[in-house]
């Protein structure tokens, strides 16, 4: 079955009790049992809920995976993966990471004795020196946030497989429409469902998908034990959002491409970070592992100052200045003071995230209007 058909149908079946075509919102905390421990597969809603189950199936199918588990946020999903580890274990991850993931690894889990190596994973040759007998996990985010670096998933998997290292991919920026890491041999895919999967800026949610039965059981055990599960109303909203994922992604990609090209040709713009440019350092890898290049891009102004970037962000009218991404409406963000403020300044600068960097999440509006808005804001800087 092709992607659009899966997006519309996967995981959703007419409700057995009424035939309702849409999975109902099972707003319940518990389920009545016929006799002690004799029930219909549902005992208590932290463990399972039919609306959530439909969604988990849908996301698993979109990622070509066997099992899906939803969490109350992307960070809740990430947290469950790190809880697979034990004190003394080591993790290899990138130096260009979602700020919240960096904060969790550094501020929460280092004190439990887990060691994280933050390295430039966009060059696979950098990885080997950090691998040792304690390495248990590679945590990969590609395209990366906010610098749109591309990591070769297959190259990481090939190295990890020889050393028994789990590979988890944060696939939030690509969405399952653009990239399916399990097909490349990754063990776990993580999504901030809040972004493209939900798609309408109205839900916070996370998900993990895997093909491995044992790994799934361990993750489901953590999800039920630790309890970061989403509610049925949110699950319903995401089920609804997913039905148009392919349509939205097509528009995000075509708008993203036109805006990247527009910005690149503008004299007041400095560097544009977008993996679709042939001169992007890992353009060939992006072409190999992604279906298209997505709706996220970052850029600096040719007058590379915080003051000008601030002026620009205050001057846009259609783009909303806000954290988050992946919704139908276009957003503009200042990573240094917003999404990535939890990363110390010297770390940020060292990794190429300058004070004037501006990140855009291109929505599904008419691209002419978006370009007109950027154009009028550029005249003001
Ligand atoms: C937003 C985001 C997260 C965190 O997800 P939440 O749903 O906000 O908890 C993780 N990774 C990436 C790449 C994100 O954009």
Query: In the prediction, which pLDDT does 177 show?
Result: 98
Ligand 1 site-directed mutation target among 105, 139, 194, 230, most atoms within 8 Å of CB: 194
Give the ligand 1 atom nearest the CA of 76.
Answer: 9
Query: In the prediction, which pLDDT does 366 show?
Result: 98
Mean pLDDT of the region 159-181: 97
Query: In the prediction, which pLDDT does 343 show?
Result: 77
Which positions ≥6 away from 22 have C-beta within 8 Å? 12, 15, 236, 239, 240
Q: Which residue has the CA at smallest separation from atom 5 of ligand 1?
A: 74
Q: Which of 171, 180, 163 is nearest to 142 (CA)?
A: 171
Q: Which of 97-101, 154-158, 161-165, 256-260 has the lowest mean pLDDT?
A: 97-101
**Stretch(es) of the chain classified as CATH 3.40.640.10:** 3-242
Location of structure tokens 């994973």 = 121
Q: What does the H/E/C string look like for the chain?
A: CCHHHHHHHCCCCCCCCCCCCCCCCCCCCECCCCECCECCCCCECCCCCHHHHHHHHHHHHHCCCCEEEEECCHHHHHHHHHCCCCCCCEEEEECCCCHHHHHHHHHHHHHHCCEEEEECCCCHHHCHHHCCCCEEEEEEECCCCCCCCCCCHHHHHHHHHCCCCEEEEECCCCHHHHCCHHHHCCCEEEEECCCCCCCCCCCCCEEEEECCHHHHHHHHHHHHHHCCCCCHHHHHHHHHHHCCHHHHHHHHHHHHHHHHHHHHCCCCEEEEECCCCCCCCCHHHHHHHCCCCCCEEEEEECCCCHHHHHHHHHHCCCCEECCCCCCCCCEEECCCCCCCCCCCHHHHHHCCCCCCCEEEECCCCCHHHHHHHHHHHHHCC
Q: Which of 284, 367, 356, 359 is nearest to 320 (CA)?
A: 359
306: confidence class by pLDDT, cuts 50, 70, 90: confident
Do the Cβ atoms of 67 and 197 come closer than 8 Å? no
Q: Which of 333, 277, 372, 282 is nearest to 146 (CA)?
A: 333
d(CA 7, CA 216): 22
Decide if pLDDT at 58 tops 90.
Answer: yes
The torsion region of residue 161 among left (phi > 0), alpha (psi -120 to 50) and beta comes to alpha
Preceding peptide of 190 cis, ω within 30°: no
If one counts every other C-beta atom within 10 angstroms of the C-beta of residue 267, the result is 6
Query: In the prediction, which pLDDT does 49 show?
Result: 97
d(CA 358, CA 377): 13
Ligand 1 site-directed mutation target among 191, 192, 234, most atoms within 8 Å of CB: 192
d(CA 295, CA 325): 9
Ligand 1 site-directed mutation target among 80, 82, 100, 101, most atoms within 8 Å of CB: 100
Give the ligand 1 atom nearest the CA of 141.
Answer: 13
Q: Average pLDDT over the chain, rounded to whole?
A: 96
pLDDT > 90 in the chain, percent = 90
The answer to whether the CB of 98 is under 6 A from ligand 1 is yes
Architecture, CATH, for domain 245-378 = Alpha-Beta Complex (3.90)
Give the ligand 1 atom nearest the CA of 77.
Answer: 9
Decide if pLDDT at 355 tops 90.
Answer: no
Mean pLDDT of the region 45-69: 98
Which positions ≥6 away from 31 have C-beta within 8 Å? 39, 40, 42, 43, 44, 45
**Alpha-carbon distance values, 70 to 81, 204, 205, 220 (Å):** 13, 11, 7, 10
Instruction: Quick: pLDDT tens for 207-241.
Output: 999 999 999 999 999 999 999 999 999 999 999 99
Which structure tokens are listed for 274?
């977008």
Decide if pLDDT at 74 tops 90.
Answer: yes
Query: In the prediction, which pLDDT does 354 show?
Result: 85
Do the Cβ atoms of 265 and 129 come closer than 8 Å? no
**Stretch(es) of the chain classified as CATH 3.90.1150.10:** 245-378
State the catalytic residues: 46, 98, 170, 195
The answer to whether the CB of 234 is under 6 A from ligand 1 is no
**Alpha-carbon distance values, 164 to 155, 157, 198, 220, 356 (Å):** 15, 10, 33, 21, 41
Specify the length of the chain in residues. Answer: 381
Q: Which residue has the CA at smallest separation from atom 1 of ligand 1?
A: 192
Question: Which one is the CATH code of 3-242: 3.20.20.70, 3.40.50.1370, 3.40.640.10, 3.10.450.630?
Answer: 3.40.640.10
Q: Which residue has the CA at smallest separation from atom 4 of ligand 1?
A: 74
d(CA 363, CA 378): 19
Location of structure tokens 């399916």 = 180
The answer to whether the CB of 354 is under 6 A from ligand 1 is no
């Amino acid at each position: 079955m092709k992607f659009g058909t899966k997006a519309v149908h996967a995981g959703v079946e007419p409700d057995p009790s009424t035939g309702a075509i849409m999975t109902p919102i099972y707003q319940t905390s518990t389920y009545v049992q016929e006799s002690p421990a004799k029930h219909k597969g549902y005992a208590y809603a932290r463990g399972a809920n039919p609306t959530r189950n439909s969604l988990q199936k849908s996301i698993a199918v979109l990622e070509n995976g066997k099992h899906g588990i939803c969490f109350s946020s992307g960070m809740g999903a990430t947290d469950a993966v790190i809880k697979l580890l034990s004190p003394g274990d080591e993790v290899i991850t990138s130096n260009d990471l979602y700020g919240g993931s960096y904060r969790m690894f550094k501020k929460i889990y280092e004190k439990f004795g887990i060691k994280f190596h933050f390295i430039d994973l966009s060059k696979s040759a950098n990885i080997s020196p950090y691998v040792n007998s304690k390495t248990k996990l590679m945590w990969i985010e590609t395209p990366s946030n906010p610098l749109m670096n591309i990591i070769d998933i297959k190259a990481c998997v090939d190295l990890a497989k020889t050393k028994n290292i789990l590979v988890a991919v944060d696939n939030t920026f690509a969405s399952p429409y653009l990239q399916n890491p399990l097909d490349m041999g990754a063990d776990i895919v993580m999504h901030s469902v809040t972004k493209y999967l939900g798609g309408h800026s109205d839900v916070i949610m996370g998900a993990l998908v895997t093909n491995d039965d044992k790994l799934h059981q361990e993750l489901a055990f953590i999800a039920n034990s630790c309890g970061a599960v989403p509610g049925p109303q949110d699950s319903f909203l995401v089920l609804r959002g997913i039905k148009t994922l392919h349509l939205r992604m097509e528009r995000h990609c075509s708008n993203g491409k036109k805006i990247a090209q527009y910005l690149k040709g503008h004299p007041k713009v400095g560097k544009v970070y977008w993996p679709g440019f042939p001169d992007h350092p890992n353009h060939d890898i992006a072409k190999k592992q992604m279906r298209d290049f997505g709706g996220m891009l970052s850029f600096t102004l040719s007058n590379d100052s915080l003051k000008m970037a601030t002026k620009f962000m205050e001057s846009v009218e259609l783009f909303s200045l806000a954290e988050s991404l992946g919704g139908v409406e276009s957003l503009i963000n200042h990573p240094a003071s917003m999404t990535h403020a939890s990363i110390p300044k010297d770390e940020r600068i060292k990794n190429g995230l300058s004070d004037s960097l501006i990140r855009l999440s291109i929505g599904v509006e008419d691209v002419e209007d978006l370009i007109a808005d950027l154009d009028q804001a550029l005249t003001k800087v």
